[in-house]
Structure 1
Amino acid sequence: MGQPSFEASNAIIYLTYGAFLVLGTAIAWKLRSQVKTDFLSSNGTQTAWPLALNFIASGE
């Protein structure tokens, strides 16, 4: 089985982009009434210092 054509590759890429756009918009629409502080607190409990030290230790 060979490689897909240039047009087929572009179609796959742009359909995937479109699917992510629709999915992200749907999730944002569903969660639009959520309070920002609830979202941020549910995003993780790690404070800034351990996160910064982890970033430095990872060598990035």
Structure 2
Amino acid sequence: MGVPSTPASNAIIYLTYGAFLVVGCYIAWRLRHQSKTEWLSSNRTQKGVPLALNFIAACECTRASARLCA
């Protein structure tokens, strides 16, 4: 299997960008009646310390920890 040409690569990239734009606009349109406090409270589903521990456990925190996981 060969490397795609530059026009083919650009087409894949821009079609993906377009798909993400359409999906993001659709989600925003569906949630347009949600109040600001409802949106903010839905984002606070996990406290800071467990979230930080998840990043450390997944070796996503720093490059040094990524070297240790490799």
Q: Under TM normalisation by the shorter chain, which class is it?
A: 0.7 to 0.9
- Structure 2 equivalent of residue 2 of structure 1: 2
- Compute the TM-score of the two structures, normalised by the length of structure 1: 0.75
Alignment correspondent of 2:15: 15
Give, in whole Å, the separation in 2 of the partners of 1:4 and 1:46: 42
Hey, what does 1:41 align to over in structure 2?
41
**Cα-Cα RMSD:** 2.3
Cα deviation, residue 31, structure 1: 0.2
Would you say how many aligned residue pairs link Structure 1 and Structure 2?
A: 57
The 4+ residue runs of structure 1 with deviation greater than 2 A are 45-48
The TM-score with structure 2 as length reference comes to 0.66
Offset from partner CA, 1:11-58 (integer Å, 9 cap, x none): 00000000000000000000000001000010014567x5xxx5xxx4
The aligned runs of 1:21-36 (5 Å cut-off) are: 21-36=21-36
Mapped to 2, the partners of 1:9 and 1:18 lie a distance apart of 14
